[in-house]
Chains A and B, each alone.
Chain A
Amino acid sequence: SYELTQPPSVSVSPGQTAIITCSGDKLGNKPTSWYQQRPGQSPTLVIYRDIERPSGIPERFSGSNSGHTATLTISGTQAMDEADYYCQAWGSNSYVFGTGTKVTVL
């Protein structure tokens, strides 16, 4: 089955840049989405088709995808960005989610 691997945690200081990676076989060939899940809330789409931002998502969220790794970048991280982040792509004939990364804003 297709698997997506993320680092369990990323720590960042307010105003700095957080980088979250998502690794999977030939992931660069698959449109990848990213979801933010704040504590006690449902997931929210923050990036789709590798680089696109839904309306209402701040410009500080950006994405890229090449080779075997997709990346979510949060520039100028704010306290409100502290959350779990999941990548997602289509694989094994289903929607596959990454293992998740907890972003802590110190």
Chain B
Amino acid sequence: EVQLLESGGGLVQPGGSLRLSCAGSGFSFSNNAMIWVRQAPGKGLECVSFISSSGDNTNYADSVKGRFTISRDSAKNTLYLQMNNLRAEDTAVYYCSKSRGTFEPLDTWGLGTMVTVSS
């Protein structure tokens, strides 16, 4: 069974840092692009960042550029999102998902992990 399991969320003060992880299983991790999508409370979906299957190409939403870093460890089948200088507007559920390529759909999603930025 194809699964994605996020972890690392929690409550953090403005300006703080968190690292999210997403463990993949049941599929060829190294052959899939990986994506972080977030959903603020009561709001829609926003692609935060994605990384190519090889790890050579990354992309960030303007709202997180310079603060978030995406990475992947294919040996561990794990995706990461390092989040620095967090702001209140980063409060959201963060989902991990996968795609077979640039124009392909996000075919599997994790359960999500909640990040709350508040003092």
Contact = CB atoms under 8 A, between A and B. Distances in A.
Interface string B8-29: 0000000000000000000000
Interface in B25-48: 35, 37, 44-47
The majority secondary structure among interface residues of chain A is strand
A45 B61 contact: no
A28 interface: no
A interface, how many residues as a size bin?
20 to 34
Interface of B: 35, 37, 44-47, 50, 59, 61, 95, 99, 102-112
Interface stretch (A15-23, A72-80, A93-101): A93-101
B106 A94 contact: no
Contacts of A31: 103-104
B106 A95 contact: yes
